[in-house]
Structure 1
Amino acid sequence: MRTMRGWFRDTTGGLPVSFWYLWAGTLINRLGSFVLVFLAIYLTQERGFSASQAGLVLGLWGVGGALGTTAGGTLSDRWGRRPTLLTAHLGAAVMMLALGFARELWAVALGALLLGMFAEAARPAFGAMVIDVVPEKDRLRAFSLNYWAINLGFASAAILAGLAAEAGFLLLFVVDATTTVITALVIFLKVGETRRAPTVGGGHRGAGAPVGALRTILRDRVFLGFVTLNLFAALVFLQHISMLPIAMGDSGLSPTTYGSVIALNGVLIVVGQLFVPRLIRGRSRSHVLALASVVMGVGFGLTAFADTAWFYGLTVLVWTVGEMLNSPSNATLIAELSPAELRGRYQGVFSLSWQGAAAVAPVLGGLVREQAGNAQLWFGCAAVGGLMALAHLISGPARERRATLLRATAGPVVPVVAIRPPAPQAAEAAATAPAEPVGPAGDDDLPDRGPGRPVDPARGDGLPDRGPGRAPEPTGAR
């Protein structure tokens, strides 16, 4: 019992209260993430659209998501994390209801485009908030816990959505919109702005509007190289929602069987993800990411030999282990490669790799399967996994040097929240006092921070996450 208490304390202890509000919001939002999971079925069975028309609608969702992540990243840096999240969630709730009541194809297509835009605009702001409020030493645990909440919500949503659909598909849209509004309320009531004002003289304009931000990102070859590797990982990973159900159908297995097999992914993550941070703590992130790529490649490669439900289930369990190793290391590395004043934009560019893969993976997988065959598709996934592992080992040292440099050059910063100027009689004392970060009232619950550490206000919530149901990202962003 003592060992279990110690494990629980090591896993969850010491994190800011604001993080737990964000965590709770993520879980609530994911518990209601019904629509994207069932959208294709809804369009074809309830609305009578053809498969190609349904594909068009889903594609426009992805286009909207790409626009949303770009806009969300920029707004979270310029406007603030909190207002960006509030606008994104409230807009998504409204468009969710509008999509549920839409009848004509053009209205459904427009609704999907706008819903994807609002839903995915929350992702960069949310990621930036997590980085803002959680000290660097605790980010691996924080991202792992958030990832766990996403998958717990996704697994539960799949079951709840099936029950809700029996009462009518409109209920799916209503429940999804309701949980999104609840998430927005959590942000409004419990989460303060976390964007920090840049130091004076840092070559910035306005409130958090760095000069040449896009140019800075485009010149960051280390970061863009990492985003490219994630794009290839996503191209492999997203075959589980495009080509895997087709392969299982060719093996004579029903859609219900596919649902049961793919549910193993969420179950394994919910059970095992809490232990992963302790297993990889202190280990080279490049080595962990390389191992994750190999394991994921092997898991998808084994699909070439599968022809029964238990064998397909085994392949899912294997590549899920790779996913579990990849996700927390990915998240912490992106956090450390993002300059403080550009965190929202960096998160947005990284999210674009998922959006791009969501659009390309089904088409590319289908072409390879048609032209070369089913087995060659899965062998190709295994080969990509091996090449990615090699690329991580080669590029890893440069990423760690960049992360070390950013930590060393990060100066003290102050939050953008209103700060009252010192009284005239205190000006002289303030001028001679040592500088230190100033935080909003109520941050006493945070761990001790050294100079240059983010001052931690409360945080905001929610991702669409992956929002993707799991599509634009793993299961709803995994």
Structure 2
Amino acid sequence: MKRLFKIYIDAYRGLSQESWMLAIVMLINRTGSMVLPFLGIYLIDHLNFTLENSGIVLSCYGIGSLIGSSLGGYLTDKIGNFKVQALSLLLSAPLFAIIPLFKTLESACVIMLIISMVSMLFIPANSVAITRYAKKENITRAFSLNRMAVNLGFSFGPALGGFLSNYSYDLLFYSNAAATLLAGIVFIKFFYNRKERNEAAEENETVNENTVTENRSAYTDWKFIIFTIFCATFSIAFFQIMNTLPLFYNEVAKLSKTEIGLIMGFSGICIVLFEMLLVHWAENKFTITDILFYGSIVTAISYSIFGFTHALVLMYLAIFLMSIGEMLVLPFISTVTALSAGANNKGSYMGLNGLSGAFAFIVSPFVGTLIATKYNFDILWFGTAILLLLTAIGFKITVKKLIGNK
């Protein structure tokens, strides 16, 4: 027990005050992000959309994410991460509050596109801020701390969203808006006029001097582009957890909204409890290439379980394995991106990598709902597992060529 406690302490040691504050802002913001897991159910149950039409709306959310990620990376390099993060948070709050006014397919597509575009501006800017306030040796753990905050928020958010949606979807949207506004206020109060850590930028320049030139664009770095393609295939598969998986719980497994919120919240709890420990252990035992390879395989196994059984206890096991895979893949994707960028072009690299997730938000719900409708959910889960296995092979081939044996 003492040894385990020491490992936990070591995992958190050395993280800066700014890294902790960025995580707190993310926690507040993501605790309020209870809309997305229930958006498909809201569209079908409340607005009486078909499964295909709900997929179209969710894909519009992905299109907005695609635009926002690219624009967020560009604006971050031009005006700085503070202004972009503050703008995104303050504009997102009123947009979430007006979602109930949009009830037709066309209007729902428009508002989802705008909301996702504005909220996604935050992600590349926040990622750049993490690299600015973290020392070289703590970059992966700083990203893990931020992701831990994301998942702690997601563990609270869906569970709370499940309870709120039982009473009123409007209340769900208003709560999301209030949390986003609070996150914006906390962020501005702490980071306004706060100087970035110059040593972090200098250290990252040293790390990247043999990898990329100072002013090189991510969009001309072909090794990184190929890596980003495999990040996209992982995200297409993994993001089924946010769109088709809740529909599966609702329509096939016949879980209540409260049960759906709890099982999705379980994923966040697992990540909060184990991510920092697992990342600290993995980065000392394996190369980043191997971590991404094994993490993708574990995620593939988790999705295949849904195709074999609908037993509640085994669905919890699947979510646990999916959380392990997520913990092994997503923080190290961010690390590869940070190590591939120079000091002054991090925004473009973070933005391009963010496009992989944004692209997945377009493809994942549309393809997922299409396969589930034309065939069935079991075919979807087995297909998702196969895609993840191919992604594991892709990571094995590309990551070592990109950053070496780190």
Give the TM-score band, short-chain normalised.
Answer: 0.7 to 0.9
Q: Residues 133 and 45 (structure 1 numbering): CA distance in 2 closer, same or farther, change over 3 Å?
A: same
* In structure 1, C-alpha distance between the alignment counterparts of 2:244 and 2:97, rounded to whole Å: 30
Are 1:110 and 2:110 an aligned pair? yes
* In structure 1, C-alpha distance between the alignment counterparts of 2:62 and 2:318, rounded to whole Å: 27
Are 1:329 and 2:329 an aligned pair? no
Asked whether the equivalents of residues 245 and 255 of structure 1 are also in contact (C-alpha less than 8 Å), the reply is no
Partner secondary structure for residue 281 of structure 1: helix
* In structure 1, C-alpha distance between the alignment counterparts of 2:186 and 2:356, rounded to whole Å: 29
Partner secondary structure for residue 345 of structure 2: helix
Alignment-mate amino acid for residue 239 of structure 1: Q
* In structure 2, C-alpha distance between the alignment counterparts of 1:123 and 1:309, rounded to whole Å: 34
Matched with 1:31 is 31
Alignment coverage as a number of residue pairs: 392
Alignment-mate amino acid for residue 331 of structure 2: P
Unaligned runs of 5+ in 1: 200-209, 405-478
> In the alignment, which of 275, 287, 292 is matched to residue 290 of structure 2?
287
Using structure 2 for the length normalisation, give the TM-score. Answer: 0.85
Unaligned runs of 5+ in 2: 203-212
Written as runs of structure 1 = structure 2, the 5 A alignment for 1:79-228 is: 79-102=79-102, 106-191=106-191, 192=194, 194=196, 216-228=217-229
* In structure 1, C-alpha distance between the alignment counterparts of 2:329 and 2:400, rounded to whole Å: 17
* In structure 2, C-alpha distance between the alignment counterparts of 1:372 and 1:50, rounded to whole Å: 16
Percent of aligned pairs with the same amino acid = 26
Partner secondary structure for residue 98 of structure 2: helix
* In structure 2, C-alpha distance between the alignment counterparts of 1:94 and 1:275, rounded to whole Å: 37
Moved more, 31-40 or 18-27: 31-40
Deviation at 1:212, TM superposition (A): 8.0
Asked whether the equivalents of residues 82 and 193 of structure 1 are also in contact (C-alpha less than 8 Å), the reply is no
Deviation at 1:83, TM superposition (A): 0.7
Q: Residues 296 and 45 (structure 1 numbering): CA distance in 2 closer, same or farther, change over 3 Å?
A: closer
Partner secondary structure for residue 340 of structure 1: coil
Give a deviation string over 1:315-343, Cα, whole Å, max 9, x none. Answer: 22223221111122222111111222111
Written as runs of structure 1 = structure 2, the 5 A alignment for 1:446-461 is: none
Alignment-mate amino acid for residue 334 of structure 1: T
Deviation at 1:84, TM superposition (A): 0.8
Q: Residues 374 and 178 (structure 1 numbering): CA distance in 2 closer, same or farther, change over 3 Å?
A: closer
Matched with 1:310 is 313
Q: Residues 118 and 394 (structure 1 numbering): CA distance in 2 closer, same or farther, change over 3 Å?
A: same
Deviation at 1:379, TM superposition (A): 3.3
Alignment-mate amino acid for residue 224 of structure 2: F
Asked whether the equivalents of residues 244 and 368 of structure 2 are also in contact (C-alpha less than 8 Å), the reply is yes
Matched with 1:68 is 68
* In structure 1, C-alpha distance between the alignment counterparts of 2:117 and 2:185, rounded to whole Å: 20
Asked whether the equivalents of residues 268 and 317 of structure 1 are also in contact (C-alpha less than 8 Å), the reply is yes
Asked whether the equivalents of residues 70 and 349 of structure 1 are also in contact (C-alpha less than 8 Å), the reply is yes
Written as runs of structure 1 = structure 2, the 5 A alignment for 1:232-243 is: 232-243=233-244
Alignment-mate amino acid for residue 189 of structure 2: L
Give a deviation string over 1:47-78, Cα, whole Å, max 9, x none. Answer: 55555554443332222221111111100000
* In structure 2, C-alpha distance between the alignment counterparts of 1:395 and 1:247, rounded to whole Å: 34
